[in-house]
Structure 1
Amino acid sequence: MSSTLVALDLDAHDPAALAQFWGSLLARPVQERAGGHLLAGGDTQVGLRFVASDSTKVGPNRTHLHLTSRDEADMRRVVDRALELGASHLHVGQLPEEGHVVLADPEGNELCVIPPGTSFLAGTGFLGELACDGTRAVGVFWSEALGWPLVWDEDEETAIQSPAGGTKVAWGGPPLAPKPGRNRTRLLLAPVGDHATEVERLVSLGATVIDEAGVDAAAEGGGTALADPDGNELRLLP
């Protein structure tokens, strides 16, 4: 048994508007479903889901998105298109020689447009990476949880990728920034097989079932809320 990765959940004050921003940028239709506004993924691209929340963003998200580019002209086009849709430039300490462009979406979520020729993201598709804060242990946990092989495992940094290819999910290793509260980004899973059995399996791998006090679980699709070994919340749908 295993779980499939349905989407990265992102909290939003206006989920419909934020979904429209990302849908326009990624050229994906917005699907209104119970639990939020979904930009469905596929075998090689991770989905995104936007759920209503009145929480305040404190510090950088533990997960942000990396968009790829084919050449310099395409990179400029992606940046210009994001700005046209409502993104803004963001300075997080990056150096000019690093080459990537750091932006924030209309609700302040960080994203990077990556230069062409970046070998790590070669062949991943436009949504090239979910770049996460996290320890090696959490990378190993997610590899086992999803059945995705580790495609990078060096110096406490890890990355996994679907056997079909596409979007990578990567963790940068310690030290981790303090976690002020519930993450505004979370991984959304669907069980392959029996829900209760999959909860038990995830717990055996190092997850914990958590109390969702103050969270409208039904509005996010129900199921079971857990946390991975680094304390990052995730949801296993019914």
Structure 2
Amino acid sequence: MALRPVQVNMKALDASAVGRFWAAALGWSAYSPGVTTYAGPPGGLVWPDPVALGVDVVPVPEPKTATKNRAHLDLATSSATHQAELVARLRALGATSVRVGQGDVPWTVLADPEGNEFCVLEPREIHRDTGPIARVVVDCADPRAMARFWDSAMDWTLREVTDDRAVLRSAENAGPYLEFLRTPDVKTVPDRVHLDLLPYPGDDKPAEVARLRALGATDLDLGQGDVPWTCLTDPEGHEFCVLAPS
């Protein structure tokens, strides 16, 4: 049994507009299979075996209230020129500069049109084959504890773990990294950005959910009602969903 992250779930007042922003930002296409807007590589959704970690933007009635999201995307660049050009293009698409206490750093911190923060990284050799999304970064108090849970929860491989961060990536060495970064931030509101996990075809979703509960996950009631996915939180309260396999 195994689970793999298949999309970053992002809440927005105007899911269509934010979805189009992210599709343009990543050089992808926007798809609207229902009420959500999905940003993914050209060619369709390729479900249930997506070729990339997409961005699924879900409409909600509540605006962002947290000063800073506890999860964000880092975008990859291939050169200093590419970084500058990408920042300029993102601003033209509606991104704005934000200060989150980053100080003097070589990356640029921006926010999408609804205030969801993200970073445009300086070129790094480690990100040369990730695609446009270099990392999904999640704030946490204890990276080692997050490494224990998420390394067991998913079929991704733990690449690094220290007191300050834990890093995972798919066993195929493809796509973005998932990084849990130690920060002093404390969760005060529901997460605006979270991961959606998917069982492989033929795997038993209820058994996977039971396994996650045994690892320390907790059931989460967001008023979602009778839906085919299961909402959970990890041991530090980060929300995530287990989708139903097709």
Q: TM-score, normalised by structure 1?
A: 0.90
**Cα distance change of structure 1 residues 120 and 95 upon mapping to structure 2, 3 Å threshold:** farther
Instruction: State the AA in 1 paired with 2:133.
Output: L
Question: In the aligned structure 2, how far is the partner of 1:216 from the partner of 1:24?
Answer: 33
Question: In the aligned structure 2, how far is the partner of 1:37 from the partner of 1:162?
Answer: 25
Query: What's 1:109 paired with?
Result: 116
Aligned: 1:148 with 2:129? no
Question: In the aligned structure 2, how far is the partner of 1:40 from the partner of 1:144?
Answer: 27
* Secondary structure in structure 1 of the residue aligned to 2:182: coil
Displacement of 1:216 in angstroms is: 5.9
The 5-angstrom pairing of residues 1-238 of structure 1 reads 1-34=1-34, 36-40=36-40, 45-57=52-64, 58-96=66-104, 98-116=105-123, 118-134=124-140, 135-136=142-143, 137-164=145-172, 165-175=174-184, 177-192=185-200, 193-213=203-223, 215=224, 218=227, 222-238=228-244
Question: In the aligned structure 2, how far is the partner of 1:5 from the partner of 1:185?
Answer: 13
Q: Is the 8 A contact 2:12 2:114 kept in 1?
A: yes
Question: In the aligned structure 1, how far is the partner of 2:139 from the partner of 2:242?
Answer: 21
Q: Is the 8 A contact 1:66 1:114 kept in 2?
A: yes
Which ranges in structure 1 are unaligned for 5 or more consecutive residues? none
**Cα distance change of structure 1 residues 65 and 11 upon mapping to structure 2, 3 Å threshold:** same
Question: In the aligned structure 2, how far is the partner of 1:25 from the partner of 1:217?
Answer: 34
Displacement of 1:217 in angstroms is: 6.3
Q: Is the 8 A contact 1:7 1:40 kept in 2?
A: no
Displacement of 1:84 in angstroms is: 0.7
Question: In the aligned structure 2, how far is the partner of 1:12 from the partner of 1:114?
Answer: 24
Q: Is the 8 A contact 1:44 1:162 kept in 2?
A: no
**Cα distance change of structure 1 residues 7 and 185 upon mapping to structure 2, 3 Å threshold:** same
Question: In the aligned structure 2, how far is the partner of 1:232 from the partner of 1:94?
Answer: 22
Question: In the aligned structure 2, how far is the partner of 1:133 from the partner of 1:185?
Answer: 12
Q: Is the 8 A contact 2:13 2:63 kept in 1?
A: no
Instruction: State the AA in 1 paired with 2:205.
Output: H
Displacement of 1:71 in angstroms is: 0.8
**Cα distance change of structure 1 residues 171 and 204 upon mapping to structure 2, 3 Å threshold:** same
Question: In the aligned structure 1, how far is the partner of 2:214 from the partner of 2:186?
Answer: 26
For residues 76-134 of structure 1, what are the alpha-carbon distances to aligned partners after superposition, in whole Å with 9 as ceiling and x for unaligned?
111011001000111222233x2111111101010111111x34534322210011102
**Cα distance change of structure 1 residues 8 and 194 upon mapping to structure 2, 3 Å threshold:** same
Displacement of 1:189 in angstroms is: 1.5
Question: In the aligned structure 2, how far is the partner of 1:90 from the partner of 1:100?
Answer: 12
Aligned residues: 231
Question: In the aligned structure 2, how far is the partner of 1:140 from the partner of 1:45?
Answer: 24
Question: In the aligned structure 1, how far is the partner of 2:127 from the partner of 2:226?
Answer: 34
Displacement of 1:34 in angstroms is: 3.5
RMSD: 1.9
**Cα distance change of structure 1 residues 43 and 155 upon mapping to structure 2, 3 Å threshold:** farther
Identical-pair percentage = 31
Question: In the aligned structure 2, how far is the partner of 1:217 from the partner of 1:29?
Answer: 30
